[in-house]
Structure 1
Amino acid sequence: MINKKVFQLIENISALFSLKVIDLGLSLWLIPYLILKIGLHNYGVYALAMSLVWFFVNVLNYGFNLSTVRELAKHKNDQIKVNLIFNEVLSVKLFLFVLLFVLFLAISLVIPKFSEHFHLYFFASLLLLGDLFSLRWFFMGIEKMKFITLIHLSATVIFTGLVLKYVVVPSDYRVIPLYEAIGLLISAVFSFAWVVKKYKIQIKLIPCKAVLNYLKVHFHSFINLLLPSTSGMLIVLLSGMLAGPSLVGLTQIGVKFTAAFTTLNTILTNAFFPWVNRNKAIELKTRKILNSLGLFVSISMFFLGEFLTITWLNFESELMMQNMVRIVKILSPIPFLAALVSSYGVNGLLTQYKDKLFGRITLISTFSMLITAIVLVPLYPIIGAAVSFLSARVVYSGLSWCFFKVNS
């Protein structure tokens, strides 16, 4: 039995690792390609729109990757319970989709910086429709994460193929989100239909009153998942509102570069979370693994960052490249800080059902990022966003560690 569980854990880690390699590999490869085709300015405009829509997408995933995964992992062999959880999530997502889709379009029309690129934002809004059918939370809960990889791979291949074929001139930046939405929608709808048939799900939406109650009960799980997963998007948004499009591009590239170095931590956190919830005895071992790897990756990012950046990107301006390297150096401690959050927050406080406490920690760290960004970005447009992003992670990891020790 133990060997079977270990094998399943290794399988899930391998699946998530493959997913991240595919996602980051194509994403990082597409960045210099898009900059070449549409220019750094238009890339910054596109990056701003995507940061906004992905924030909305994360709101649509109302903490399901934490609260629902935790419940589904415990009841995955109970058909009645699985059916109930599936319909709860579907009902909540449908309710939120209607609200968020209307709100996103309204914001796109009202705010001048967005409305002047309304076609771009309209196409971006279609990603909400695609994510409505996403079942990432379901496959994480039943610990069949290889399906996440297969689904994401199909979406990414479709998106990449469309970009390579149709994005050829600077004005094509407006349709890039449309191609991403097409890939997501095709893969998500197909997987949704397959799961309903395979697991004999009987779709029956819950009443609106029950949806509102679900939103209230799981609010802290929502905050705990939303703010950490969208902090990079928020800092790109703030950079876009307070600085120019080219600087938005640099900030977004820096966030993506950091995400690449944080990949292993993200994979292990997602794989360990259902396992630690069932077996607290392995908590200390997982913590040592996460923290050791996080420290090693941060050191590697600091010393290899300049070489990798210069090799990867090709800016016309030497000064722009130097600024990019500075941003990467500033962000290099983040993989280790993310590991601390995973160890003492996600696989620590959350496994102790300290959702409310962890939610407050998340809010405090996000608020600190917003304040520092508002102050620093206008004063230091190039590095201000990076310093703000780093400072929030310091607060987040520090408070997670402190409160875990207090509650242990």
Structure 2
Amino acid sequence: MASLFSLHVANMLLPLLTVPYVVRIIGPERLGLLNFSQAFVAYFTLLINYGFDMASVRAIAANRDNAEVKNWVFSEVVFGKSLLWVVSTIIFAIISSFVDDFRAHYWLHICTYIGTIGIVFFPVWLYQAMENLGRVALFNTIIKVLVTLTVFIFIQQPDDYVYQNLSLSLSQVIVSFVAFFVAVRRFDIHFSWPTLAQMTKRFRDDSTLFFTSVVATIYAGSNIFLLGMFSTPYNVGIFSAGTRIVGIAQAFVSLALNQAFFPIVANAFGQSEEKGLTIVRTIFFPVTLLMMLVSAGIWLIAPLFISMFYGAKFEEAVLVLRIVALLPITLGLNNLFGVHTMLSLRMDKAFFRISAVGSIVSLSLNALFIQRFGHVGVACSWVITEAFVTTSFYIYLRYKGIEVVKLSYLQEAITFSKSRLAVLFKQKS
């Protein structure tokens, strides 16, 4: 996880280098349009992914040496995503062509949507299950380099802003194809056409995870979309600037904790419930401390970060950033309680119900706050909702007699952290 974090920090520095250049050319309004388009297309990405990624990691990680399982899971996931991409494209074309608000920026949305092709073919879930994520980090680095170079070349005036999303989409597609063929060769994958019965079972089995992702996206990923629909592009631009660095923290949680940690936990739970819970209890204290340090750091550097990367036009984003600085703590615990513990214990339905209630809370708060407080209201809504969902996960686990937080594991966590740091520094030296 430490190696992945180091690579991920490098990945984030490259796009950050383009921020001062791009935002001073396009301004808050066009930045808002870029981010609104990404939020719009994110719903199609959600549909294409369905619940395949999490379910396939769980299946392969528990049967890593079984070539037959690996092949049929790969075939079903790739075919299922391809099928859903066709459905998504039809829906996207209808909305973008006949809904006025979307037709006004038709070309921008197409530039953003091209990236969904990469979602179909980027088998990050396979690398994750096989614990070969170093290659994923490398592919992500390549994407960022390509985006950085094209941004400086193509964005010269305000109306060139669409090339920001186009360059991101094209580089994503290119690297996804490379990652796809490397995975096929490295893991000796043999594709076979799944039957109708197999695909029906796959869609049915993964439906709970899909709907869980839908409701989770409503409360965690719809802020920009709702702000864009019921407010102004300027407010979207300010909110996007204020949440950018928190987005980096979110990506760290996803890459280093979810993708690196989830297959280990899934494998441990596959052996026994107690082994899985031991890992989760041990990692709780270092994860919480790390997330608290990240939150404190974000709060402190907020004025400097906004001034340096966005300029005076984005001064209002400082307050947004300081509000959402609390999110790394809730996001870390949310994943620890929900993804790593509840999903590993197959508490999918409870996970879904809590996420669904979180979506209702988020929509209600946004309905109250957007018109009155704009980007600041959305930031508050996000933090409150994440805290509610995280607390609910913890209470449900306690209700089921599962104590994730146990002080008796504190000493073991300290010993574990010291040993991991010793290994890290030894490798560096």
* TM-score, with length taken from structure 1: 0.90
Shift of 1:147: 1.0
Residue aligned with 1:382, SS: helix
Q: Which moved more, 1:392-401 or 1:29-38?
A: 29-38
For residues 226 and 302 of structure 1, do their structure 2 counterparts lie closer, same or farther at Cα, with a shift above 3 Å needed?
A: same
Q: State the partner residue of 1:301.
A: 298
For residues 90 and 327 of structure 1, do their structure 2 counterparts lie closer, same or farther at Cα, with a shift above 3 Å needed?
A: same
Q: How many residues align?
A: 392
Shift of 1:295: 2.3
For residues 176 and 259 of structure 1, do their structure 2 counterparts lie closer, same or farther at Cα, with a shift above 3 Å needed?
A: closer
Amino acid at match of 1:197: R
Amino acid at match of 1:275: I
Q: 1: distance between equivalents of 2:10 and 2:213? A: 23
Shift of 1:184: 1.0
Amino acid at match of 1:288: F
Root-mean-square deviation (Å): 1.9
Q: 2: distance between equivalents of 1:58 and 1:24? A: 23
Contact in 2 for aligned 1:223/1:362 (Cα 8 Å): no
Q: State the partner residue of 1:292.
A: 289
Q: 1: distance between equivalents of 2:95 and 2:237? A: 21
After TM superposition, list the pairs within 5 Å mapping 1:171-190 onto structure 2.
171-190=159-178
Amino acid at match of 1:142: M
| Runs of 5+ unmatched residues, structure 2 | 269-275, 403-429
- Percent same amino acid among aligned pairs? 21
Contact in 1 for aligned 2:219/2:363 (Cα 8 Å): no
Contact in 2 for aligned 1:272/1:286 (Cα 8 Å): no
After TM superposition, list the pairs within 5 Å mapping 1:52-91 onto structure 2.
52-91=40-79
Q: 1: distance between equivalents of 2:150 and 2:29? A: 22
Contact in 1 for aligned 2:334/2:389 (Cα 8 Å): yes
Shift of 1:208: 3.9
Residue aligned with 2:312, SS: coil
2:342 corresponds to 1:345: no
Q: 1: distance between equivalents of 2:147 and 2:285? A: 38
Shift of 1:19: 4.6
* TM-score, with length taken from structure 2: 0.86
Q: State the partner residue of 1:158.
A: 146
Contact in 2 for aligned 1:276/1:283 (Cα 8 Å): yes
Q: Which moved more, 1:192-201 or 1:138-147?
A: 192-201
Shift of 1:231: 4.7
Shift of 1:263: 4.6
After TM superposition, list the pairs within 5 Å mapping 1:113-132 onto structure 2.
113-132=101-120
2:314 corresponds to 1:330: no
After TM superposition, list the pairs within 5 Å mapping 1:87-126 onto structure 2.
87-126=75-114
Q: 2: distance between equivalents of 1:18 and 1:108? A: 39
After TM superposition, list the pairs within 5 Å mapping 1:8-407 onto structure 2.
13-228=1-216, 231-266=219-254, 267-279=256-268, 280=276, 281-316=278-313, 320-321=314-315, 323-407=316-400
Q: 1: distance between equivalents of 2:252 and 2:359? A: 23
